[in-house]
Each structure stands twice: as C-alpha cells, then as structure tokens.
Amino acid sequence: MKVLLIGSGGREHAMALALRRSARLEHLFIAPGNPGTSLLGDNVQIDVTDHQAVVDFCRVMGVGLVVVGPEAPLVAGLVDDLENAGIPAFGPSKAAAQLEGSKGFTKDLCREFHIPTGDYQRFSDRDAALAYVRQLGAPIVVKADGLAAGKGVIVAMSLSDAEAAIDMIFGGAFGAAGAEVVVEEFLEGEEASFFAICDGTRALAFGAAQDHKRVLDGDLGPNTGGMGAYSPAPVMTDEVVAQVMAQIIEPTLKGMAARGTPFKGVLFAGLMIGPQGPQLIEFNARFGDPETQVLLPRLQTDFLDLLLGAATGHLPNGPVRFSDETALTVVMAAKGYPDQPERGTEIRGVERAEGLPGVIVTHAGTAKDGQRLIANGGRVLNLTGLGASVVEAQSRAYAGVDAIDWPGGFCRRDIGWRAVKR
Ligand code: AMP
Ligand code: GLY
C-alpha cells in the first residue's frame, strides 16, 4: 500500500519509522516531511491547506491511505474532503476534531456523558468571567476556547493572575481562538498522556507516556510543546488504564457516535491522576509530540494495520502489543525557544549519535543548507534512548545528546526524573 503522511515534526519522523516496519507498506510519501523523513520515503511539497491538491496527488499516485499528523488539517476538514473523494484517511472529521478544537465542546460532552473532569463554566463575556473567578478564587485555570498553539492555558495561582488571563484572552491575544473562555477547577495529581486508537465505534488502548512541558530543569519556566517524554508511564497501572478506558474513552466514543459525529483516529487524553482516580484535563485528536517518539519504538503490532483499520471502521482485534522496554526522548531545542528560537545554526554529530547502542534520532525543525544540517524551528532534534529500565533509557538518550555538536541548541538534563525517583 502507498501511504501519504502529513506533517514535518519529530512525531511524523517517528510515525514514518514505524510505518516502514510494516510489510504492507509499498511506498511512503511525506508532505512536507523533514531531512529525517527524506531517508524513509519521498518528501513532497504539496500545499496541505489546498485539499483538492491533496486529493489530486493521491489519485495520481494511487495512495491508499492518508495519515494526518498535526491538528490544523484535521480541524480544517482535510479528512472529510479525502473521504468524500473515496480516499481512506486516518484522523477525525472536522466535526469530531472539535474534541481538540474547542475546549468548551469537550467540557460539555463530559458533562453530558458523565466523564470525570474538573468543574467549569464557559464565557463569552469578560465581566461575567471576572465575576466567576472572583467568586471561586485561586488556584483556578483559565483557557482560551480554541486552538492557541499550546499557549492558551493559564494555570492561575492567584486571583490577579486569573483576572489578567481573562483580560488578555478577551483582549484578543489569541484572536478568534479567544472569543470564548473556559474557566475550570484546578486539578491536583500527576499528569499522564494516554492514547486510544478509535474506528468510530471501538477503541484500543495504545499506551501511555509522560511529557515534560516546562522549558527548564525542575519543571520551571514557560510551557512548551514538550521537552521530553518517556514510556511506559509508571503512574498508568493496569487498573488506571482500565478506569480510563471505561470512564473516559468509551463514553466519549459513545457520546460522539450518538451525536452523529463518530470519532475515528487517535484520541489523546491529557489526564490528571489524583486521589479520586483519573480525570480528563483535555483531549487532543492526534498523536502527541514528543510522546509518539517514545510510544512507537516500543510498538510490536503492525502500525499500518492499526491506522488503516481505524480509518476504514474495522480496527483489528486487540490488544495492541508493546515491548517491555522503556523509551525516553530528550528534545533538543534552538536557543531562545519557546519565545524566539534562533534559526540557521549548524548541527553536527547526528550520524555519530545514531551509531550508539539503543539510540534513535528523529528530526523535527531541521533543514538542509547544501550538505550542512541547520536548525529551522523551535524544537529541532529528538534523541531517544531504549533500555531495560528508565535509568538505562535515560543514560542512552543523554549519550546521544552528548554526541551532538550543536552550540546553538539546548535541552533539559532531567527528563524522566519522576520515574527515576520511583
Ligand atoms: P492543556 O493545553 O489543556 O493540556 O494545558 C496545559 C497544561 O496546563 C496541562 O498540561 C496542565 O499541566 C495544566 N492544566 C490544564 N488544565 C488544568 C487543570 N484543570 N488543573 C490543573 N492543571 C491544568
Ligand atoms: N506533548 C503534548 C502534545 O503533543 O500536545
């Protein structure tokens, strides 16, 4: 089968590696891809916002499955347009992608179908939102309703921070994504990322990971897209996974189907595991980055079979199998990330890192400048270590980091600290 994978990050490089392990894969195209994916298939320059251009490409090339990595094309309805043209696509429809596209939509679904999550209210009026936070007090969480590149969430530890967040969002800091605000209860516990592959009616548990969202060691500094991750996540015991499937994933699938917008693709639940069991923080409608870089190297089930089964409404029978190894990814970012990443600095040593035992390098924001590899984004390179324990995976990942010669980059030095401490 010929597959077109959409995206250009470390997540998509990891997905390309997993697809290449499938015996059924005939050819892989990646749009637009990155220097890492160019070694696994053909990077193609199609404008993915032009859905007709994607359909035409698939028809000409005989593509049998399109796999959508990031959220923007999902929310824009790319999967709907591909399916209308008769081309199977992995990912939710525009209507079902509202689970990621609108925080208020997801909270209302939770309320209707009794899915455990923090209490909340939706506001389209600044004064009403201010009155509500003054009534509840801090800590409290203020969110822009729509997609805001991970920046639309303010965990306010004081009332004045909450008020400032409401002013900022209604003041237009996130454009249309901030036309509505969700104010919600502050949840305490340990966070985990959980994934389930869904075909509209059935879901298969697809493992868990823990991410490190803050830019600096010790979980300090501003939030980022994710500075590192590891899998499995010790907090996600078999019992917690069973609770998440029964209380969060399955009711969501039933609710979405009952509303006439069945969810196909991967449901990524951001969870808080606290004293009352798992609660939903938010859904994403795609794989996580960097969580995918630690899940897929452990995957033993054929990835293409799973994605095609989800896309066509016929998931294979479970369970999905993973190796017992631990995978740990360290994200190397360009200096200045997340505010003003410096572009154009040269990166050396990738081949040396790839030659180390148990080390996988995935590219994210890299580019080629002639023969030189340069930084061309915020999160640039991912070093993944595989090992029998989290300590071994961590030491391998950092051996990979140390083989990279990139004065323009930096990384956290404590990825995996929580699991190591256990
Ligand atoms: P989100 O973009 O919704 O994943 O939120 C970003 C981060 O904010 C999450 O990973 C949590 O660390 C934090 N967060 C979001 N909502 C809550 C909440 N209700 N209680 C505590 N922390 C939260
Ligand atoms: N690492 C979090 C995300 O992909 O949203």
107 Cα to the center of ligand 2, angstroms:
19
417 Cα to the center of ligand 1, angstroms:
20
Measured CA to CA, the distance from residue 198 to residue 269 in angstroms comes to 13
Question: What are the tens digits of pLDDT across the range 190-212?
Answer: 999 999 999 999 999 999 999 99
7 Cα to the center of ligand 1, angstroms:
25
Question: Average model confidence (pLDDT) for the chain?
Answer: 96
Question: What are the tens digits of pLDDT across the range 239-287?
Answer: 999 999 999 999 999 999 999 999 999 999 999 999 889 999 999 999 9
Q: Supply the pLDDT for residue 151.
A: 80
Ligand nearest to the CA of 138: 1
pLDDT of 149 strictly over 80: no
Nearby residues of 137 by Cβ (< 8 Å), 6 or more positions away: 159
Q: Supply the pLDDT for residue 148.
A: 86
Collapsing DSSP states into helix, strand and coil, what is residue 146?
coil
Residue with tokens 């404590």: 414
Measured CA to CA, the distance from residue 248 to residue 117 in angstroms comes to 9
pLDDT of 409 strictly over 80: yes
pLDDT over 70, % of the chain: 100
Contact of 186 with 193, CB cutoff 8 Å:
no
Q: Supply the pLDDT for residue 53.
A: 98
pLDDT of 214 strictly over 90: yes
Nearest-CA residue for atom 5 of ligand 2: 288
pLDDT of 189 strictly over 80: yes
Q: What is the four-CA torsion angle of 386, 389, 395, 399, rounded to 10 degrees? A: -20
- From 205, 207, 211, select the one nearest 191 (Cα to Cα): 211
Mean per-residue pLDDT for 52-68? 98
Give CATH for domain 2-94: 3.40.50.20
Question: What are the tens digits of pLDDT across the range 78-90?
Answer: 999 999 999 999 9
- From 328, 410, 399, select the one nearest 357 (Cα to Cα): 399
The pocket around ligand 1, CB under 6 angstroms, is made up of: 118, 141, 150, 153, 155, 184-187, 191, 213, 270, 281-282
Nearby residues of 402 by Cβ (< 8 Å), 6 or more positions away: none
Q: Supply the pLDDT for residue 318.
A: 83
Q: Supply the pLDDT for residue 223.
A: 87
Within the chain, which residue ranges are assigned CATH 3.40.50.20?
Answer: 2-94
Give CATH for domain 326-421: 3.90.600.10
pLDDT of 39 strictly over 90: yes
153 Cα to the center of ligand 1, angstroms:
7
Question: Is any ligand 2 atom within 6 A of the Cβ of residue 191?
Answer: no
**Which helix (H) or strand (E) covers residue 7, if one does?**
strand 2-7
User: Which of ligand 1's atoms lies nearest the C-alpha of 211?
Assistant: 10
Measured CA to CA, the distance from residue 17 to residue 21 in angstroms comes to 7
CA angle 328, 22, 283 (to 5 degrees): 50
Contact of 317 with 393, CB cutoff 8 Å:
no
DSSP state at residue 320: P
- From 364, 202, 342, 188, select the one nearest 279 (Cα to Cα): 188
Question: What are the tens digits of pLDDT across the range 282-326?
Answer: 999 999 999 999 999 999 999 999 999 999 999 999 899 999 999
Measured CA to CA, the distance from residue 302 to residue 90 in angstroms comes to 15
Within the chain, which residue ranges are assigned CATH 3.90.600.10?
Answer: 326-421
Mean per-residue pLDDT for 109-120? 97
Within the chain, which residue ranges are assigned CATH 3.30.470.20?
Answer: 188-312
User: Range with the lowest mean pLDDT among 173-182, 328-337, 366-375?
Assistant: 173-182
289 Cα to the center of ligand 2, angstroms:
5
Within the chain, which residue ranges are assigned CATH 3.30.1490.20?
Answer: 119-185
Pocket test for ligand 1, best of 147, 155, 220, 223 (most atoms within 8 A of CB): 155
pLDDT of 104 strictly over 80: yes
Give CATH for domain 119-185: 3.30.1490.20
pLDDT over 90, % of the chain: 96
Question: Is any ligand 2 atom within 6 A of the Cβ of residue 284?
Answer: yes
On whether the 188-312 domain is CATH 3.30.470.20, my answer is yes
pLDDT of 12 strictly over 90: yes
